[in-house]
C-alpha cells in the first residue's frame, strides 16, 4: 500500500476499469476529454480521490499490549 498521491493516469485507469473499458477505448478517451473540460466533473473526480486518500491515512497501529494479548491467546511465545 502506498500513500503517495496517485497520478491522473492511475485514476483514469481506475475509472475506466470500473467501467470495464480499456484506457485507449473510445469511451475512456471521451471521459478523459470530458473531465478535462468540465469543472463539475473535475471537482467530483478530485473529491473521490480525496475520499480514498483520507481513508487511507486513518490507519491504526497495533498497540504493544494488543500484540501481547494475541500471543497469549494463541499460546505462542513472543521470542525476538
Partner 1 sequence: MNEEQLIASAKNGDKKALAELVKKYEQTVYSFAFKVCRDREKAENMMQETFYSMIKSLHQFDGNSKLSTWLYRIVVNHCLMEARKSSRYTFVEQETDESLFDEKYIADWSTLPIKNLETKELRNILDAAIEKLQPEYRVVFTLRDVEEYSTEETAKMLELSVPAVKSRLHRARSFLRNEITKAFQE
Using CB under 8 A, list all residues that contact partner 1. 1-2, 17-20, 40-41, 43-44, 46-48, 50-52, 54-56, 58-62, 66-67, 69-71, 73-74, 76-79
To partner 1, the closest distance from the beta carbon of 2 in angstroms equals: 8
Question: What is the rounded distance in angstroms from the CA atom of residue 13 to the CA atom of residue 19?
Answer: 10
To partner 1, the closest distance from the beta carbon of 61 in angstroms equals: 7
- Beta-carbon contacts of 68 under 8 Å, excluding residues fewer than 6 positions away, are 78
To partner 1, the closest distance from the beta carbon of 32 in angstroms equals: 17
Q: Which is nearer to partner 1, 26 or 40 (CB)?
A: 40
Amino acid at each position: 500500500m502506498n500513500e503517495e498521491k496517485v497520478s491522473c493516469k492511475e485514476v483514469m485507469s481506475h475509472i475506466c476499469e470500473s467501467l470495464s473499458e480499456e484506457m485507449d477505448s473510445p469511451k475512456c478517451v471521451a471521459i478523459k476529454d470530458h473531465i478535462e473540460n468540465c469543472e463539475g466533473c473535475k471537482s467530483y473526480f478530485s473529491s473521490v480521490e480525496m475520499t480514498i486518500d483520507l481513508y487511507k491515512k486513518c490507519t491504526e497501529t497495533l498497540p504493544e499490549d494488543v500484540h501481547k494479548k494475541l500471543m497469549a491467546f494463541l499460546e505462542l511465545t513472543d521470542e525476538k
